[in-house]
Amino acid sequence: MNLKQTLRNVAYWGVYGITYVVSLLPIGWLYAMASFTFFLAYYLIGYRKTTAIQNVARSFPDKRYGEIHAIVKKFYACFCAYFAEIIKGVSAPIDLLERKIIFENLELIDRYINCGRNVIACLGHCGNWEMLNVMPYKMRHEVYAVYKPLRSATINRLMAKLRSRFGMKLMPGRAVIRHMLSKNAHPAVYLFLADQCPHIQEEKYRFTLLNQETYVFSGMEKLARAGRTAVIYLHITQLSKGSYKIVCVPLCAEAEAMVDGEITQKYIDLLTENIREEPYGWLWTHKRWKR
């Protein structure tokens, strides 16, 4: 092992050790720390506050100035609380998390997989999406989270450990199609966060999202059609602080039977419904329309 790798391991285990110790604190203490972080981020630093206000204002042109700022303020408060919940999840027992994360209609996934089909479960950055790491514990099937590795090797390794704690398997986006189409691969669930800004803009995948012309990743639909998968949407809402409901909503049973762009349009419609139901829950600081 070379010196660089040794230093990376030391950094990782140091960060993980500190995070684990902090996670043993009562959740009330972690929420108090999150509230302090909210005060810094919203009132003092104003982290991407202008971006968040602009995104909300353009997405909801019918809302007044006060309503827009109320959504943005609640978003920052919830977003900071999400980090407290993620940290707590490093050591929290599964029986506690099961009470906090409620899944509905998981039998839909069973039905598709029992028919021999892979399932693409697409979702947006709504609510605390990281809590989906308990999903494999609730199912009899393999669950893969398609992701883009983070720039920091230490943070990437830490998040990978957290996300895989209950059996979630992480897969870089570039490896998905080869794995899904492999003859040796069993039908499984593949999670896609498909609401980010794509680097490659395709006119066929430009849709209206929240009153704005929006380019959308084409990879999710193209993979679904090539792999002849079923597609569902995971509708995430917050029941109360720290408690979430995740509903499996059918999008299509046979992706290959859908016309070009239809899957993505249905995804946009379901995502829009999710955001409108709980506008403070979406990731408004993301520069979604920067291109």
Cβ-proximal residues to 203 (8 Å cutoff; 6+ apart), any chain: none
- 1 pLDDT band (50/70/90 cuts)? low
Q: Domain locations in the chain? A: 3-281
Q: How far apart are CA 185 and CA 175, in angstroms?
A: 13
Q: Are 97 and 138 in contact (CB under 8 A)?
A: no
Q: Are 239 and 78 in contact (CB under 8 A)?
A: no
For residue 278, the SS3 value is coil
| pLDDT tens sequence across 210-250 | 999 998 888 899 999 988 999 999 999 999 999 999 999 99
pTM over 0.85: yes
Q: What is the mean pLDDT of residues 65-76?
A: 96
Residue with more model confidence, 172 or 23: 23
What mean pLDDT, rounded, does the chain reach?
92
Helical residues (DSSP H) of 89-136, grouped into ranges: 94-100, 107-114
Q: What is the mean pLDDT of residues 33-48?
A: 95
Q: What is the number of residues in the chain?
A: 291
Q: Are 207 and 268 in contact (CB under 8 A)?
A: yes
Q: Which helix (H) or strand (E) holds 291?
A: none
Q: What percentage of residues in the chain have a pLDDT greater than 90? A: 73
